Structure 1
């Protein structure tokens, strides 16, 4: 069953219940043709949830790659994904960017403002996720990393002045329902559906995203 929690006044963020990490990872590979990667996981140590990496102060506990050669371990095969999560059922689900999609990352407040504006403009949206550390990821076509800085400049913003980051080759996003320690789980603000299988180009979304980030400074 789905439920919603308030992100801000401008958006409701859906949560997903009842599906295991393995089932979800397999579905991402099978239905969306996304490469998936099992990351670190959470372990109870003296009653406290800690990251399997062993770092006592981990920036993303239970939600980052477990090995340095992680790009070579990612798979788009549902069969391989099922096998990998059967070995480590509690592993987080990471999605490498720069392959079937890039991601534009912005603060949650700016992301919710931009999302509301995009919907009013009836723009085509891809999936959008929201992390427990209050960041949102807008999924767009690959190649955004090369385009976005110039697009932002054309809108009149120095790229370094905005809290807007493009994730492409060599980066990743954590996918729902991955948990970040005790902070909560990654959730979908816009779920992957048959309607948004075809992703927008970064150029289509950059204006409302840059505008929202500029207001959020």
Structure 2
């Protein structure tokens, strides 16, 4: 079967199955987002966002309504109905409820992840975003804790490329295909990582890795 933006039948089935599984197995709230469509007037192989904006900053990766927070659901039947209605929707997971997300550059994230595994730290799911970012899932409340924790580690919060996504934000979940590429799991959700770590348990290796990347960039 041809796997194109315009006729991704296999992908749409995966989107539905994944969205339902996130709600049913993880009890995450799930939100249908925008999707990619063929651009008849554009270069071959390129696609545009379903929102219709030629200047869309996040093609196929944003909510479709201003009241998106009220549209999200953790009910598997409700999620199934939403994707049956629009099967190409991207999968968005609102943050700030059942989890927050720590978003770091891919190189720093891989370095931190390897260090966490050597230290046998508790880890939740980790996503690899197509814009070369790694996203670590942690318990909600990280947005409040991180600035003070970074100061204790000797960092001014605005110096590191470390973003915290909490209430009023979202992350794009696999197997969504965005204008930058496909979202994938670096560490998939399993029964072993059902219980998320507190951000305090992971922040030191993440800050260290981001600090190394900052020092390397300044030395270039």
TM-score between both structures, scaled by the size of structure 2: 0.89
Q: How far off its partner does 1:57 sit?
A: 2.2
Aligned to 1:14: none
Instruction: Render the CA deviation track for 1:32-81: whole Å, top value 9, x for unaligned.
Output: 00000000011112143110111112221111111111000000000000
Task: Give the TM-score normalised by the residue count of structure 1.
Answer: 0.90
- Structure having the larger proportion of residues in helix: 2
CA contact under 8 A between 2:125 and 2:136: conserved in structure 1? yes
Once superposed, which parts of structure 1, at least 4 consecutive aligned residues long, lie more than 3 Å away?
A: none
Give 2:202's aligned residue: 205
1:35 aligns with 2:35: no
How far is the alpha carbon of 1:199 from its aligned partner?
0.2
Match of 2:60 in 1: 62
Out of 147, 152, 155, the position equivalent to 1:154 is 152
Matched, 1:187 2:184: yes
Distance, in Å, in 1 between the alignment partners of 2:13 and 2:65 is: 26
SS in 2 for 1:216: helix
Q: Secondary structure of the equivalent of 1:163? A: coil
- Choose the corresponding residue for 1:98, options 91, 96, 102: 96
Q: For this pair of structures, how many residues does the alignment match?
A: 200
Q: Report deviation, 1:19.
A: 5.4
- Range 186-195 or range 38-47, more displaced: 38-47
Structure 2 unmatched ranges of 5 or more: 1-10, 215-220
Tell me, in whole angstroms, the C-alpha distance in 2 between the residues paired with 1:216 and 1:66: 35
1:196 to 2:193 alignment? yes
Given the superposition, is the C-alpha separation of residues 18 and 96 from structure 1 closer, same or farther in structure 2, using an over 3 Å criterion? closer
Provide the secondary structure at the position in 2 that maps to 1:195.
helix
- Structure 1 or 2, whichever has the larger Rg, is 2
Work out the CA distance in 1 between the residues paired with 2:56 and 2:154: 37
Q: Is the 8 A contact 2:12 2:88 kept in 1?
A: no
